[in-house]
Structure 1
Amino acid sequence: MAVNPYPFLGLSDAEIEDSLEKNGNNALQKGDNDVWWQALKEAATEPMFLLLVACTIIYFSLGELSEGFFMLGAILLVSAISFYQDSRSKKALEALKAYTQSAATVIRNNQLVEIPVDELVIGDTVVASEGELIPADGKLRQINDFSVNESLLTGEAFAIQKELNSDENGHVYRGSLVQSGQCVFEVTAVGKQSKLGQIGQSLSEIQSEKTPLQIQIENFVKKMAAVGVVVFLIIWGINYLQSRNILESLLKGLTIAMSVLPEEIPVAFASFMALGAWRLMQQGVIVKQTQTVEALGSATVLCTDKTGTITENKMELHQIYVMQTNQVAQSGHWDSAAAQELITTAMWASEPAPFDPMEKALHQAYTSITATDERPLFKFIHEYPLSGKPPMMTHLFENESGKRIIACKGAPEAIIQHSSVSNEQKAIIFQQVADFAAEGYRVLGVGTTDFTGNDFPKNQQDFEFRFLGLVGFYDPPKRNISKVFKQFYDAGIQVKIITGDNSLTTASIAKQAHFKSKLPPITGDELLKLSPEEQADKISKASIFTRMFPEAKLKIINTLKDQHQIVGMTGDGVNDGPALKAAHIGIAMGKRGSEIAKQASSLILVDDDFGKMVDAVAMGRKIYTNLKKAIQYIISIHIPIILTVALPLILGWIYPSIFTPVHVIFLELIMGPTCSIVYENEPLERNAMKQPPRALTDTFLNLKELSISIVQGLFITLGTLFSYRYSVAEGYDENLTRTMVFVTLVMANVFLTLVNRSFQESIFTTFRYKNNLLVGVIGITILLLAALVYVPVFADFFKLTPLAFPQVGIAALVGFGSVIWFEGYKWIRRQKP
């Protein structure tokens, strides 16, 4: 809680409870009544579900009741797995939603508190400042140079000046953006009763475009499904011509269709992205859109602010320059009247309830030098918000006796430009700015003026100020920032500083942080004066951009994107909104970020720790790599299932129906957890953060990678067919032959899972990777296989025969041999430079 500087008490606890009971809270989202029905509907329309139902109906029609009941059980099990995976994803997304919920500043029990927007009630007194979104409908009680943008509700893009005690223009509405100033309002409508709720619009309902990876995966699955339809029709036709039994031939056709359909791929994609976002949230990085996880692994350039990102954001007023005496005063030596006037004026130019670290430091310095605190005696009567190039801001205060204070602060060159300062004085001031900046100080100029009457100029630049001096703040680099920069450089990621501070201060801090920069800093004005070709060259090569404003920031982001870079951009202010929105990865600060910055971003750093971006990039790379492993595994293991089902029938071998739907279902049930649970839990591979970023436009599986998976699948097929031909040559009956082939395929699946944990490192290296789920899934697979072969009731149902130890050894050895050759391929790859 914070001390309440406003003349409003707010609701008491009892009044809050009463309002909540009568009118409800401010939540907009729908109830959960249809969640289960929606999940059931989605599960019932899955292709695999429909194939299982078709097989079940055919089994019952053929009078094969045990197989029919097994298929019913399989339907329930597959649906349960689908519900579980869907639940994991949705829980992760719900947790993200809770973390990304906006906060509102309210006055309750005469204290300033921050609460989630959804907890607001009618009667609450809310404080909203520049850059924030109005969290509920309300009636204005106090305004300071206040204007809002209501484009979300009206479609009009211009700012609206609001007025107190106006029936027509004295209200604010949820979803509006505070364009300038500050207001205090009393909530009059919440949730679905608000104007936004009645219209039924919400930012959360806007549908995001599909990413290139999503599109590639969908296209791949569609192609596989089309192949499945063709193969299904061929197998059905061949079977019908041979048997003239439409139901039995249909059943065999459906078996092959089930083996072709790669339904695990979209499930794996959804699980990987949702759980990846959830894991990042646990590390203090909130991903608002799960597809951002995909872009993280491709990031090639990160553009970062200086204050609070590279530095501690713990501003302390260290030195001041007093123009009247032409002296520099250190912290604690501000005894002269001129020095105290400078600090006091700088304080008045700050917000009355400061949230900016520099303004907090000025209020603290004022408290330390004044014997009588005059802040309660003066009323805030007019405000000119931060504006101009370079920027400045001006505040006007007045007490009951009519004494007026007009104070401004901002970039020194802006204050000097609108002050009566001689050329000789300018030279002295600019030299002092350079001296402060060279020590890494953040420097502001301070001025004051007089004005009678209430017909204030439209722009603060129309005043003529008296320049008082400079205030220098020191904000040291974060202790870990040098290490963070090194990690980005090692990962092949460029880092660029984009700041509103001056060049000397930024260069000094960058040097202290061991930031790499080949060219001197360039300012926003200098950048925009260049030709388009020169701009592109400078943006590509320079690393420090200073005195930046929204248009220049946006120009940098768009130019980098035109150069095919994948761009991340950090920001915290309303002016950062366009650049954050334009970047591939907009990164807002969780603590000091404005609401509009958080809305425009796709990712939020909870603790404002830029070092978390290293974790985020690593997570993006890990998820992409593991998803690729999972899909390559799916392709490799589907090929032998398809060919083992199809080839004996097409070639007219002695046992044409080596596998039936029940066998394929068992294989599907062990493949699903392997790809979406085991591989999702795989750790980041060694040296993954030493590799350059991948291009976002790269094909997910290029021809070489796809070929590797196909070749792996073909080798496993050779293994299963070898077991088939070996069994026939040994005179084994159909059930024993089926068992040999089945055990070979399941063991090949186990070894493939182990081998494909890395496409670079050896299996001996990956054995040291920690993944408890891998051990569990493989253990369960082997136990289930043993039960199917050696437990009579299961063996009879699956038409399998218990194997002797030598037979088990042969099947396992063939399965091992059909996969382990890939270790030789990886060894050859590792020998290449």
Structure 2
Amino acid sequence: MPTDQATPLREAPTLQGLSAAEAARRLAAEGPNLLPGSAPKSMLAIVRDVVTEPMFLMLLAAGGIYLALGDRAEAMFLLGFVFVVIGITLAQERKTQRALESLRDLSAPRALVIRDGQEQRIAGREVVRGDLLVLHEGDRIAADALLIDGQIEVDESLLTGEAVPVTKLPAAAGTMQTMQAPAPGGDGTPGLFASTVVTRGVGIAEVYATAAHTAVGRIGADLATTVQPPSALQQDSRRLVRNLGTGAVVLAFAQVLLGWWWNGQPLLESLLSGIALAMAILPEEIPVILTVFLALGAWRISRQKVLTRVVTAVEALGAITVLAVDKTGTLTINRMAVAELASADEHFRPEGASELPEHFHLLTEFAMLATPGDPFDPMEKAIQQFGHQWLQGTEHVHDGREPEFEYALSGEILAMTRVFASDEPGVHLLATKGAPEAVADLCHLDAGQRDAIRRQVEAMAERGLRVLGVARGRWKGAAPAPDQSPPWPQSQHDFDFDFLGLVALADPPRPEVPAALAECRRAGVRVIMMTGDHPATARAIARQVGLSERPEIITGAELETLDDAALRERLRHVDLCARLQPRHKLRLVQLLRASGEVVAMTGDGVNDAPALKAADVGIAMGERGTDVAREAAALVLLDDSFARIVAAIRQGRRIDGNIRKATRFVFAVHAPIIALAMVPTLLHWPVLLLPVHIVLLELLIDPACSIVFEAEAEDSDTMERAPRPVSDSPFAFVPLLWSVLQGLGMAAVLLAGQAWLVHQGWHPDQGRAVVFSTLVLGVLLLILANRDLSRPALWGVTDPNPWLWRMATGMGMLLAAVLGIPWLRRLMGLALPDSQGLVVAASLLALCLAWLELVRLAGRLLGASGKAGRGTARPPERLRP
């Protein structure tokens, strides 16, 4: 249906807006323009969360038991450890919050304002009362304001529940000083409201309320905050931790009974043994791994100029199998220029020309009339720039001439018509541009004329040019009622047009795209172009950048005729989709996902929002994209470069791989701790591990998980293997089985060493010192072994990781302190090892290393190492050629 055209804007330079100094003063006095939301956790809240964790409740219980036994030193050590862990947790939380805050600063809505007479783009939080907002289609309004110039349509469904956009008209002069706060909804009002969306037109508005004083802010904090549901990975981890927690309680209770009844230990000592076992079983590092890795991963991706708006989308990056991309601005540089004009059999190319031939003046004039005077679209900008360059000073340039009515581009007619008053009373001038076949249809050309135009278009499109048809017309409408516009026809087909010719525009490919596409192919990621352009243009660009050599293309018209089964079969053989409408993109994305693919989708317009939302990873354009598209997407490209998408996929795979490495390490390192806490009780041996030993081991395990593995560089073959299947969880049975096998083998070695020491009559403190020292150094072996399953553990010692050797140094210092400081040695129940003890420890460590190598070789032989964390299995190939 036709809609009224926006009224002309006053020139922005004539509006001064606030001065920079006054804006800064108001920002300081009234605060930032932020809606009520969730504040970062306070230190007190973090401390409360820490001390209510099961691990630390057990520490407190163990400390109380030591006090009851009269062992004040052990009690103070355990209770002091609570404060150490609180400090570590605070540091990790702060590091995570800093990363998230930097992302929030990047992702905050931005506003175009006029200050000191100049348009400038600022963060939405910096908008103040009195600012002049310049609004375009697709913008999300930053604050409550009054429209003072232009005419726009706004979607206010956030406030009113009505899905139909409402028309906004400028307020009368002086309204700001006398008005009462307007209410949302209703056509013809000047009131604009924060968080609503401009769906059409251009306007200028003056801000009268910000932050909590806006209509949205008054509704309450809940409107501005959203609770992100847990991701699949988080749900899996919580389920696993919950199950292990239940098992820990059961086994700890059994340990207490066995120690008290089976071994005849005092009840309090049996309780300590049970607490130690429960602490050994609980993998409390898993939630830390997910929180830290995903938050810092999003921050690392932002350094690649890709903003992560939804942190959990980082998970999906490593599993992407299909990348659906637009052509303009993503594969090309989005700097359109008119490259050729065609009229009948005549052609004009501006390169090397000194003037525009006379018979092309009319074509250029009506192409300009069919285009807004201050357009946002790069193609329309190119048309206006071309016209001003070649027709400046002639009667064919009509700057400031505004249409009386406009027929917008629609899915039914891929052309737009602007209607102007003419010098002849009652007669209107029509200017139309759009898809050549649509414009030819409006001109009611015969088959021969259409065929000639089609051949011209195909020849231009084969050279990668985007082609538009241009037509003009005259219409004498029925006499209007007094003070009313003529009764405009319902459709553009009700007019008569004369075809003037073709305008071809060029948008060269980005130079980095061919290499990025080649990297996608090596990584097993299929790239599909989804564009509204002519099929031949899409094919030409695809050939230039190396996206596809296959000539077959699906068009929007063909897509309409296919059911899902037929379309799925066509997609097996087609990489290019052209002449698509937004609803076509949405259907393609949904079909790909239903076929088992993990889909990333790029988009920039308001109409792309449904497809971006439907994709596993929606990717919006940061430079040319609308606010609506950015808010519907999970990622935002800050410079619109396709290569950034590939860099994000690389980073996503790195993060996914490091999560798997850290998870393998956690389960591998807990296995020997559990065995050393449980088995001595069953065999009537002296207790090997007490809570004091386990808390020291936690001092090593926590930073190894959250710091060392997070800083791991990507594997050399990160982009040489297929995407991991979505079902390939790091908490799946097979990868965890191989991790536990690593730890159980180490446990067997250490328990065998302890049996030999007991048989040789070593004092329990001496034996415990040898086993505990070997276990501490074994933690370092497990870090090295799980960095890369494809090669021996010690081969990776030279691989760069800034935190690995700091961690190793810390381990050495901790072990030296425990063994070298007399009071700490007594506290831990250890004895200073002699030379024989050092030989035994070194021998046990060598056997542990040999076991880890044996597990690695067995895993490679059986193909399980890939399953255990490398994601080498190829995803479903249902729509793959």
TM-score (norm 1): 0.94
Residue matched to 1:329: 348
Q: Which amino acid aligns with 1:418?
A: L
- The range that moved more, 753-762 or 159-168, is 159-168
Q: Indicate the residue corresponding to 2:92 in structure 1.
A: 85
Q: Is this contact kept in 2: 1:719–1:744, CA < 8 A? A: no
Q: Is the 2:753–2:844 contact (alpha carbons within 8 Å) kept by the matching residues of 1?
A: yes
Residues 245 and 398 of structure 1, relative CA distance in 2, 3 Å threshold: farther
The residue that corresponds to 1:413 in the other structure is 437
Q: Note the residue ranges of structure 1 that are not aligned, 5 or more in a row.
A: none
Return the letter of the residue paired with 1:98: D
Task: Name the SS of the counterpart of 1:756 in structure 2.
Answer: helix
Shift of 1:475: 1.2
The equivalent of 1:477 in structure 2 is: 509
Moved more, 509-518 or 688-697: 509-518
The Cα shift of 1:18 comes to 5.0
1:537 corresponds to? 569
Counterpart CA distance in 2 for 1:384 and 1:175 is 28
1:391 aligns with 2:414: yes
Q: CA 1:202/1:527 → structure 2, altered by over 3 Å: closer, same or farther?
A: farther
Which of 836, 839, 849 aligns to 1:819? It is: 849
Shift of 1:343: 2.2
Amino acid at match of 2:390: I
Look up the SS of the partner of 1:593 in the other structure.
Answer: coil
1:155 aligned to which of 157, 161, 164: 161
**Residues 368-399 of structure 1: per-residue CA shift (max 9 Å, x gap):** 12333856543465444432345323445679
Aligned to 1:227: 247
Report the CA distance shift for 1:264/1:828 in structure 2 as closer, same or farther (over 3 A).
closer
Residue number in structure 2 paired with 1:359: 380
Q: Point out the more displaced range, 44-53 or 16-25.
A: 16-25
Q: Which of 806, 809, 812 pairs up with 1:782?
A: 812
C-alpha deviation, 1:71, in angstroms: 1.4
2:389 partner letter: S
Q: AA paired with 1:353?
A: D
In the other structure, the counterpart of 1:112 is 119
Query: Which stretch of structure 1 is more off in the superposition, 703-712 or 95-104?
Result: 703-712
| CA distance in structure 2 between the aligned counterparts of 1:375 and 1:139, rounded to whole angstroms | 30
Q: For the structure 1 residues 62 and 518, does the alpha-carbon distance in structure 2 shift closer, same or farther, using more than 3 Å as the test?
A: same
Secondary structure, aligned partner of 2:135? strand
Pick aligned residue for 1:188 from 208, 233, 238 = 208
2:321 aligned partner? 300
- Which is further off, 244-253 or 486-495? 244-253
Give 2:149's aligned residue.
142
Partner of 1:280 in structure 2? Answer: 301
1:95 aligns with 2:118: no
Change (3 A) 1:716 1:449: same
Q: Match for 1:691 among 699, 710, 721? A: 721
CA shift digits 1:330-374 (9 cap, x unpaired): 115452334233223323333333332212222221221233385
The SS at the match of 1:143 is strand
Q: Where do residues 111-260 of structure 1 align in structure 2 (5 Å cutoff)? A: 111-144=118-151, 146-165=152-171, 169-200=189-220, 205-241=225-261, 242-243=263-264, 245-260=266-281
Question: Structure 1: how far apart are the matches of 2:532 and 2:781?
Answer: 56
The answer to whether the 8 A contact 1:443-1:470 is kept is yes
Work out the CA distance in 1 between the residues paired with 2:58 and 2:858: 43
2:467 corresponds to: 443
Partner of 1:674: 704
Find the residue that maps to 2:409 and give its secondary structure. Answer: strand
Question: Aligned runs of 1:641-652 on 2, under 5 Å?
Answer: 641-652=673-684
Contact kept, 8 Å, 1:747 with 1:812, in 2: the verdict is: no
Q: Does 1:270 align with 2:291?
A: yes
Q: Deviation at 1:633?
A: 1.1
Amino acid at match of 1:200: G
- CA distance in structure 2 between the partners assigned to 1:240 and 1:310 by the alignment: 71
In the alignment, what sits opposite 2:868? Answer: none
Q: Give yes or no for contact 1:104–1:115 (8 Å, CA) kept in 2.
A: yes
The alpha carbon displacement at 1:38 in A equals: 2.7
Deviation at 1:278, TM superposition (A): 0.7
CA offset at residue 299 of structure 1? 0.5
Q: Which amino acid aligns with 2:104?
A: K
C-alpha displacement at 1:485, in angstroms? 1.1
Alignment partner, residue 429 of structure 1:
453
Task: Output aligned runs, 1:706-725, within 5 Å.
Answer: 706-725=736-755
1:759 match: 789
Per the TM alignment, residue 72 of structure 1 is displaced from its structure 2 partner at its CA by 2.1
Match of 1:526 in 2: 558
State how far apart, in whole Å, the 1-side matches of 2:97 and 2:424 are: 61
**Structure 2 unaligned runs (5+)?**
1-9, 173-181, 864-881
Deviations 1:115-174 (A, max 9, x none): 111111112121222222122111122234x32221211222222233344976321211
Q: CA 1:84–1:364 in structure 2 vs 1: closer, same or farther (change >3 Å)?
A: same
**Residue 759 of structure 2 aligns with which residue?**
729
Distance of aligned partners of 1:724 and 1:126 in 2 relative to their CA distance in 1, 3 Å threshold: same
CA deviation map 1:529-569 (0-9, x unaligned): 02332112112331100000012111111111111000011
The reply on whether 1:605 has 2:637 as its aligned counterpart is yes
> What is the one-letter code of the residue matched to 2:416?
M
Counterparts of 1:749 and 1:264, CA distance in 2: 15
Supply the distance in 2 between the matched residues of 1:89 and 1:805 (Cα, whole angstroms).
Answer: 45
Identity fraction in percent: 34
Structure 1 range deviating more: 418-427 or 69-78: 418-427
Alpha-carbon distance in structure 2 between the residues aligned to 1:388 and 1:463: 19
Distance (Å, rounded) in 2 between the aligned partners of 1:348 and 1:440: 25
Cα drift, residue 668 of structure 1: 0.9
- Cα distance change on mapping 1:624 and 1:20 into 2, 3 Å: closer
Aligned to 2:689: 659
In structure 2, relative to structure 1, the CA distance for the partners of 1:399 and 1:70 (3 Å cut) is farther
Q: Say yes or no: does 1:587 pair with 2:619.
A: yes
Rounded Cα–Cα distance in structure 1 between residues aligned with 2:49 and 2:495: 65
Kindly tell me the number of residue pairs found equivalent between the two proteins.
827
Cα displacement (A) at 1:250: 2.1
Indicate if the aligned counterparts of 2:586 and 2:614 stay in contact, CA closer than 8 A.
yes
Secondary structure of the 1:690 match is coil
Q: 1-side partners of 2:849 and 2:567: how far apart?
A: 54
Q: What is the deviation of 1:262?
A: 0.7
| Structure 1 pair 475–368 and aligned structure 2 pair: CA distance change class (3 A) | same
Write the distance in 1 (CA, Å) between the matches of 2:493 and 2:285. Answer: 63
- Partners of 2:745 and 2:851 within 8 A in 1: no
Matched letter for residue 122 of structure 1:
R
In structure 2, give the amino acid aligned to 1:545: C
CA RMSD of aligned residues (A): 2.6
Deviation at 1:465, TM superposition (A): 3.3
Aligned equivalents of 1:606, 1:638: Cα separation in 2:
42
Give the letter aligned to residue 330 of structure 1: R
In the TM superposition, residue 796 of structure 1 has moved relative to its aligned partner by: 2.0
Q: Distance in 2 between matches of 1:408 and 1:117?
A: 37
Cα drift, residue 15 of structure 1: 4.0
**Structure 1 CA distance, aligned partners of 2:278 and 2:413?**
67
Q: Output one character per residue of 1:178-237: Cα deviation in whole Å (capped at 9) or x when no partner.
A: 222222222121111111111126776222332222111111111111111011111222
Deviation of 1:296 after TM superposition, in Å, equals: 0.6
